[in-house]
Amino acid sequence: AARIRYDFDVIELSALTAIHIGRATAEPLHDRPSRLLEILQSKQWSYFDYLPGRYGQTPCLDDAICCVAARVRQWITNHSKPTRQVLELYCRAVKSLQAALDDPCERLHPNVLCATEVLSIYELLDGDRGHAWYLHAAGASSLIRLRGPNAYQTDFERALFIAQVGPIYTESILKISHCFLQQPAWQSLFQSLMTESTNLPVCGNTAASMWACISKIPGLFRSILSLVSNPPETACATRDLLLTRFLKLRSQLMALGKKHNFTSTVRCGPTDFSYLLADRPETDENYELLGLFTASLLILERNVVILDESTAPVMEAHVQQLAWEILALKKDASASKPRAAISLALKVMIAKAAVLTAGEWQQAFCNRGPDGMISEGVIRRWVGLSSPRRVTRAFDELLKRSREVNLETVASHSAYFGMMFCQSMYGVDENEDSS
């Protein structure tokens, strides 16, 4: 019915439920609206596959589908701010969703969770309401948790869960807070996705194993920040324990990369973007998975830099290499894999934040405090670079400046970028050597 009314099939929006879609995705869409048409041609298995059979069952889901279908139809024909008709459909969808959430008997129904996730796509396409996307994503995350790990038995419910794992993880990283997905019951759900979901595509199985591993990162990160901000009398022992746990998790992630044939390399430094995707086919899903793997490894190793004074210089150099690999991967994907390129937007933001803070981090691990760790302020400034436009503007400006300097290695590029950024944003002493 929605397809007939709005001349658009919402199933085509399956690409916007990719492995790691987030608010950063909206920036490239709004910069070049025609990208949406390219993305719609890259369908994938998702909860959208089950919507035709569920249309007409639940008012809030019907309203969400009509709202998003109308907005996408308008976007495709004449990209502009939502029309009055679209806004009326949106208000109706929000009102009916709120009514469902207020009903204790209805709020845990999978169609209500689905309506919340569908509406988040509307917010993704509305560049003036970035905060609203976070509210919908947080609402969906709360519903996922409220329903509990045993509530995802059908393929439809599991597809809803998989589509929301990325935003849940991202929110935990940006807030430096524990992620509930690290709890044993949720880890068991990941395990069942890998062994019992017959309709889950192969890439979904790989993604589930990766999410099970990296969902433990935010909690460990939170523990590090607590240690740095309020060190106990046993700080050294706590630091050693955290370092052991981070290195173990890093080994597990590396083993997953090896198992699934993921490898990547920057061959000629940051001015020559190229990458190697081992023996895996060059599909959207594999680009997305490699991006997720590389960005997660970058975050893990940045945390090791905080804890381990002896390996910090080598580990930070590898962090910078990983950052350039992500940028190389994005450049490659942009040429022929529009859906993958869009889903890599958040990883690109993570990579650029690492490059932009390289100089400050190099200074920080050369001038550690008495406890041997990097300061809380340095850590928070790195994580605080969460605005896609802010990071992109700063990165592009520093890239432009770097062309005036003869730099030969990834490490020296990154140190230069980081030093210039810290001088302009944080007032770092420009006489400090960062090479």
Instruction: Express each pLDDT in 183-215 by its tens digit.
Output: 999 999 999 988 876 566 656 778 888 999 999
Exposed/middle/buried for 342, CB within 10 Å: 0-12, 13-18, 19+? buried
Alpha-carbon distance 204 to 286, whole Å? Answer: 10
Exposed/middle/buried for 396, CB within 10 Å: 0-12, 13-18, 19+? exposed
Which residue has 């192969």 as its token pair?
Answer: 202
- Helices and strands (H, E) in the chain, number of each type: 20, 0
pLDDT of residue 266: 38
Contacts of 322 (CB under 8 A, 6+ apart): 294, 295, 297, 298, 301, 351, 354
DSSP per residue, 82-96: PPHHHHHHHHHHHHH
Alpha-carbon distance 120 to 129, whole Å? Answer: 11
Going from the first residue of the chain to its last (435 residues), give the mean pLDDT of each consecutive group of 10, the final group possibly shorter.
59 69 69 76 81 89 91 80 88 94 92 92 71 76 93 91 89 88 95 76 77 94 89 82 94 87 49 41 77 92 90 89 88 81 85 89 80 82 70 64 47 45 39 36
| pLDDT tens digits along 211-270 | 999 999 999 999 999 988 887 777 788 889 999 999 999 999 998 888 877 764 433 333
